[in-house]
């Protein structure tokens, strides 16, 4: 599978996609705000990533506003919140075969680019 989950309204996601260049044209692009993540998709990502927590963004504004930072979340909770609210997915997520690159950390973005 070759798929990129992103947020088209996010300037950071736009910058990263531009940095990855034309090689991502062979990837299926999914704007997670316009087209929410399905349970099957999140389960496929988890299979490669190893956990739902790895896919979960703890810097999302709603993380603190909902008091999630004060709770002990389980894998089931991480999955539920990502499916409920697109902002909880650490983005962008690039699935390139059996490799997954999660988030916008410079090292991760560079690794994803090198995999293209």
Neighbours of 68 (CB within 10 A): 18
Q: State the average pLDDT for the chain.
A: 96
pLDDT at residue 9, rounded to an integer: 94
Domains of the chain: 2-115 (3.40.30.10)
CA pseudo-torsion sign 36, 38, 44, 47: positive
pLDDT at residue 15, rounded to an integer: 96
Grade residue 70 by pLDDT with cuts at 50, 70 and 90: very high
The Cα 114–Cα 100 span in angstroms is 12
Segment 12-59, tens digit of pLDDT: 999 999 999 999 999 999 999 999 999 999 999 999 999 999 999 999
């Amino acid at each position: 599978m070759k798929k990129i989950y992103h947020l088209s309204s996010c300037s950071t996601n736009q910058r990263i996609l531009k940095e990855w260049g034309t090689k991502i044209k062979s990837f299926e692009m999914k704007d997670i705000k316009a087209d929410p993540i399905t349970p099957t998709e999140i389960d496929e990502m988890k299979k490669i990533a190893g956990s739902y927590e790895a896919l979960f963004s703890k810097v999302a504004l709603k993380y603190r506003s909902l008091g999630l930072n004060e709770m002990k979340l389980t894998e089931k909770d991480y999955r539920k919140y990502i499916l409920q609210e697109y902002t909880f997915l650490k983005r962008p997520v690039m699935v390139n075969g059996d490799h997954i690159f999660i988030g916008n950390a410079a090292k991760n973005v560079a690794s994803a680019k090198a995999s293209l």
